[in-house]
Amino acid sequence: MSSAVDAAAEEAGGRGRTDGDGRDVPGWTPYREWFRARWAEGGAVAWATALAHLLVGGALFALVAGFDLGTLPIGGSLVWAVYLAVVVAVLYVAAAPPAEPYVAWLDDRWMESDADKLLIILGHVVVVFFAFAVALGLPFNGLAGALGSVLFFTAVYSMMVLALNLHWGYAGVFNIGVAGFMAVGVYTMAILSTPADAGAASVPGLGLPLPIGILGGMIAAALVGLVAALPALRLRADYFAIVTVALSEIIRLTLNSRALQEFSVAGVTTGTGGATGISMPGNPVRLLFYDGFGAGAEPALLGSVLFPLFDGLRVELIPPNSAWLGVVPLPAFTLDLAVQPTVISNWAYVAVLAAFVGLFYVLMVRTGNSPFGRVLKAIREDEAVAEALGKDTRRFKIVAFMFGCGLMGLGGILWQGSQGFTNPGAFRPILTFYIWVALIIGGAGSNTGSVLGGALFAGLIWEGPVYLRRVVTNYVDFGATPSTFPGAVAPFAEGEVLPFLAFLLGNVSALRFILVGVILVMLMQTRPEGLLGHRKEEAAAVPLAGRPGGDRGASPGAAVADGGADADAGDNTTTTTDGDTR
Amino acid sequence: MGISETYARGRELVVSRPFVLVVALVVGLLFVDIVRQLATPGGLNAGQLASFLWDGLVTGLAIGLAGVGLSMTYSILNFANFGHGDYVTSGAFAGWAVTWLIAGAGQFDVATLLFIGSLSTSQLGVSMFGTPLAVVAGLVVAAVAAVALSLVIDRLVYRPMRDEGGITLLIASIGVALALRYTIYIVWGQRTRGLTDAQSVPEVALGGGFELGGHEITLVVIAAALMLGVHLLLQTTKLGKAMRAMADNEDLARVTGIPTERVVRYTWTIGGGLAGAGGFLIALERGAMNFQFGWILLLLIFAAVILGGIGSIYGAMFGGVTIGLTQSLSLVWIPGEFSTVAAFGVMIFVLLFKPEGIFSGVTTA
C-alpha cells in the first residue's frame, strides 16, 4: 500500500487528535457526541442541526457581544479580561461542533488535488476578509476593494515565489538578491518605455512601445543574472547568497545615486531619476476602461458599460416607510452592491495578474518536468553525481538562474510597474526576505506551494494584521494611545492593560515583522519543508499512477509537477532523497 | 640561476595566477594616481589623505570587531548568522541605556534615560572624557547583554536544530533578525537618536586639516585590545584549541572528548560579547544610532568576513580594515554615494578570483 494513503490517514488523524484534544470542554462532550451523531445521519437532519446550532450560537454571541460595558459600575482591565474571555468562550463553544465535520471535509478535499488545495486556501483568505469587512461595517464596495488589494498581493507574491522556486526549489541556487533583479527589470522597462516628453515630474524615457520595454526589462534582468551567475556560481551556497544580496544593494544604491539621475547617451537624454524615483508608462489595463491615462480621462469601452452598471447596483428591497399588510411597520433595507470605478479597474488588473500567475505556473511545471528540469533537480540533490553523469552542471545552473531572473524582472514589472511610479526604496533587501518567507511557508520545490505561500503571506501575514487592528479598534475604545513604550508599560503598575494593548495595536506594522520572524523560526524548526514541499518525486518519465495496479485516480500531471505527498506511490522508481541538506 | 629562471618564474606566475598581477597592477595604478593627485596643486592634500586613511581604519576596526563574532559562529556552527547585525544593535541599545542612566541619574527622569528618549545630549554631556565611568559601564553592559541574548536565542532557536544544514539555520537566523529588530523598534522606537555630546570630545589636530577624534581613538584602542585578547584566547588556552578542533572537524572533536555543547556556548559568549561591544563602540564613535544600524552594517560585516575568508578570525580583522579603507579611499575618485558600492564591489571581486577568501584555510586561527 502506498505511503500516500498513510500520509493522508496520518494527516487526518493528526488533525482529528489535536482538534479533539482542544475541544474537550467539560460537560460539553455529550452535546458534541449528539451533534456528531446527527451529522452522521446526513441529509436534511444534519444540515438542520448545524443550522439550528449556528443560529443559537449566533444569538448567544450577539447577546454577549451586545453588552454595553460603559453601564457597569466598575471599570478597569479585569472586567475587560473577563468579558473578552466570555466572548471568546461563547464563540468557541458555538464554532467547535460544526467545525469537526468541516475539518474532516477539508482534510478529504486537501488530499484530492492541487487545485483543491489552492481553492481551500484562497477560499479561507476570502472568508477571513469577508468577516473583516462585515465586522468593519464596510459596504460591498469596501469589501471588493479590500479583497482586490489582498488578491493583488497574492498574485504578485505568487509570481515572485514561483520564479524564486525555480532557483531554490529546482536548481538549489540560494539567491537572496531578488529585489535587485526586480529593480533591473522595472527600471529597464521604465527607461525604455516612458515617453520622451514625460513632463517635469520625471526624467524622460526612450518612448519605445510597452511590449518592447517589458521584453527589454526581462532580458536585462536575465543578463544581470548571467553576469552574477557566470563567475559566482562556483562559490559555496552561502557565499553565493551574500554575493547576490550585495549585488542587489549595489543595484539599489546605483539607482539611488545622483550621478545617474539624468544622463545623455548619443544625444538621447534619459536617467534613473535618482532617489526621487522614475515614472513609468501607464498601465494598459486602464485603457480597457478609460480613453487615456490622465486623471481626467473619460470612461471608454468596458468602462462605459461596466461603470454605470455597477454604480447603480442598489436594489431597494424594502423601501422606507413601508409596512407589512399595511399594518406592521418594516425597517428599510437596501441591497447595496454598488462598486466604484477604481475598484473595478483594480479587479481587472488582478485578473490580468492571475492570468500571469497561471502562465508562470504552467511554465514552471513544464520546466520541472522537462529533461532540463530533471537535470536541475539532480543538481539540487547532488551536483557531483549529476556531473559524473556527464551533465554540464554549470551551464544548467546558469541557464536556470537567468531564466528565473528574467521571470523576476517580469514579476517586478507587473508588480511595481503597474503603479505608474517607483523609486529605489521599493527594492530594499527586506523585500527579498518577504518573498523567501512566502516560499518557505508554501514549501520549496512545489509550484502549488509557491502560490499557496504567496496567498498565505499576502493575506494572513501581510494584510491580515492591519485589518485585524482596524476591526479591534472599531469595536474597542482603548482611550488615548501612548506614544512610547514606557508610556505603555507604566500603567501596568495600576493594573491597566489597555494602554499597552493600544500601543501594540498602534505598532501593528512592526508586530507583523516580529510575526514573520517567529513564523520563519518555527517553520525551520518544525517543518523546514513548508506546507507542500516534499521534494520527493517520481524519477520515471512516464506517469506511474496509471499503471495496472495503480490504485488512485489522482491526476498524474499534478502529482509529478508538485512532488506532493501522493507522488511517491511508486516502489523502486522513486527518488526519496531529501533536498534540504544543501 | 639566471635571467632565464627568473623569466620562467615570472611566466609561471602570469599563467597560473593572473589575479595577483591584475590586483598588483590596479593597486599600483591607484597608488600612482594618488601620488599624482597629491602632487597636483589644488588637488588632494596630505591631510585629506590621512583623514581618509584614519576614517577607514576606524570604520574597519569597528566592522572587524563585529565581524570576529560572525566569523567564529560561522566556523564552529557552520552557518552564516544573519541575526548578527541585530545582536550588534541589541547590545548597543542595552549598553547606551545604562550609560545614559548612569550619566543622567538624578538629573532626568529614569524612564526617559532608560529608553534613550529625547533629551538634549549637550545637557546630558555623555562622552568618554566627560563621563568615563558611564561609558565603560555601558560598554560592559552592552557586551553582557549581547552575550545573554545570544545564549538565550541559541537555546531557543539554534540548539533544537543543531543537526540541520547551514541553509536551514541561515533562514532561521533571518527570522531571528527580523524579530529582534522590530522588538527593538517597538521598545525604543524608530527615531535616530543622538547619544554623545560632541562638544566635550577633545580632538587631536595633527595639521593639514587632519584631526583624530577622541572617540575614534577610544574605538581604535579598545577594538585593538579586544582583538588581541581574542587572539591570545584562541592561541594559548585550551578553549581556543578546542574551538579550532571543532571548526576543523566537529565529529572528530566530539570523539576526542571535547564537550562540543560547552564550546558552542563559549563561542556564542565570545561572538555575542564582541558584537555587543562593537555595536556600543560604533554608536559611541558615530554619536548616534537607530534600531536598524546593525542590520545596515551587517552586509559590510559580511563583506569583511568573506573577504578575509569566513571562519578565519584574522581574516575578519583584515577584511574589516580592507572594507573600511576601500570605503573611505574610494572617496578620492568617486562620489560618496558609491563608497558602499565600492566596498561590495571589492568583496565580489575578491570572491570571484579567490572564492575562499584571502585567509582561506586558516580557520579560527
Q: Return d(Cα A501, Cα A58) in angstroms, integer.
A: 27
Q: What is the ipTM of this complex?
A: 0.85
- A65 and A211 belong to one structural domain: no
Q: Cα–chain-centroid distance for residue B123? A: 31
- A54 and A8 belong to one structural domain: yes
Q: Which residues of A touch B115 (CB under 8 A)?
A: 484-486
Domain of residue B239, residue span: 58-353
Contact A520 B183 (CB under 8 A): no
- A420 and A569 belong to one structural domain: no
Does any domain span residue B47? no
Domain of residue A30, residue span: 1-112
- Rounded alpha-carbon distances, angstroms, from residue B31 to B20, B28, B58, B338, B342: 16, 5, 21, 20, 16
- A160 and A190 belong to one structural domain: yes
Identify the CA nearest to A350 among candidates A67, A132, A146, A541: A146
- A260 and A332 belong to one structural domain: no
Question: Of A461, A476, A510, which residue is a domain's last?
Answer: A461
In this prediction, residue B35 has a pLDDT band, given cuts at 50, 70 and 90, of: confident
Does any domain span residue B1? no
Identify the CA nearest to A517 among candidates B179, B187, B150, B153: B179
Joined grid coordinates for residue A415: 508588480
CB contact at 8 A, A412 and A181: yes
Does any domain span residue A309? yes
- Rounded alpha-carbon distances, angstroms, from residue B273 to B64, B68, B234, B304, B324: 14, 10, 15, 19, 22
Q: What's the rounded mean pLDDT across residues A511-524?
A: 90
Q: Give the per-residue pLDDT at A26.
A: 56
Is the pTM higher than 0.90? The answer reads no
Q: Give the per-residue pLDDT at A352.
A: 93
Helix axes A464-475, A508-526, angle to 10 degrees: 130
- A223 and A318 belong to one structural domain: no
Q: On the CB side of B9, how many CA atoms lie within 13 Å of its CA?
A: 5
Please state whether A428 falls in left (phi above 0), alpha (psi between -120 and 50) or beta.
beta
Q: Give the per-residue pLDDT at B346.
A: 83
pLDDT digits (tens, 9 = 90+) for A217-273: 999 999 999 988 887 777 777 788 888 988 999 999 999 888 877 777 777 777 777
Q: Return d(Cα B96, Cα B219) in angstroms, integer.
A: 15
Q: Which residues pair with A12 in a beta bridge?
A: none
Contact B167 A238 (CB under 8 A): yes
Length of chain B: 365
**Among all residues of chain A, which has the CA nearest to that of B183?**
A514
Does any domain span residue A372? yes
Does any domain span residue B49? no
In this prediction, residue A406 has a pLDDT band, given cuts at 50, 70 and 90, of: very high
pLDDT digits (tens, 9 = 90+) for A97-144: 777 778 888 888 887 777 788 888 888 888 888 888 887 878 888 888
Q: Residue holding cell 576606524? A: B58
- A192 and A300 belong to one structural domain: no
Q: What's the rounded mean pLDDT across residues B187-192?
A: 87
3-class DSSP state of A335:
strand
Does any domain span residue A494? no
Question: Of A92, A112, A132, which residue is a domain's last?
Answer: A112
- A346 and A327 belong to one structural domain: no
Q: What's the rounded mean pLDDT across residues B70-95?
A: 90
The total domain count for chain A is 4
Does any domain span residue A231? yes
Q: Return d(Cα A579, Cα A12) in angstroms, integer.
A: 26
Q: Which residues pair with A314 in a beta bridge?
A: A336
Nearest to B175 among A256, A490, A521 (CB): A521
- A266 and A239 belong to one structural domain: yes
Does any domain span residue B303? yes
Does any domain span residue A499? no
What are the respective helix, strand and coil percentages of chain B, to the nearest 5? 75, 5, 20
Q: Return d(Cα A196, Cα A264) in angstroms, integer.
A: 12
Does any domain span residue A172? yes
Q: Which residues of A touch B116 (CB under 8 A)?
A: none
Contact B167 A490 (CB under 8 A): no
Does any domain span residue A274? yes
Q: In this predicted structure, which of A220-224, A352-356, B223-227, B314-318 has the lowest mean pLDDT?
A: B314-318
The total domain count for chain B is 1
3-class DSSP state of A323:
strand
Name the H helices within B154-292.
166-188, 214-236, 238-248, 250-255, 260-286
Joined grid coordinates for residue B142: 552592552
Contact B112 A525 (CB under 8 A): no
In this prediction, residue A6 has a pLDDT band, given cuts at 50, 70 and 90, of: very low
Identify the CA nearest to A431 among candidates A412, A413, A447, A451: A412
Q: Which residues of B touch A254 (CB under 8 A)?
A: 338, 341
In Å, the largest CA–CA distance within chain A is: 90
- A257 and A387 belong to one structural domain: yes
Does any domain span residue A135? no
- A275 and A420 belong to one structural domain: yes
- Is B90's pLDDT higher than 80? yes
Size of interface A-B (CB pairs under 8 A): 143
Percentage of residues of chain B with pLDDT beyond 70 = 93
Quickly count: other Cβ atoms within 10 Å of residue A453's Cβ: 32
- A177 and A203 belong to one structural domain: yes
Q: Which residues of A touch B345 (CB under 8 A)?
A: 250
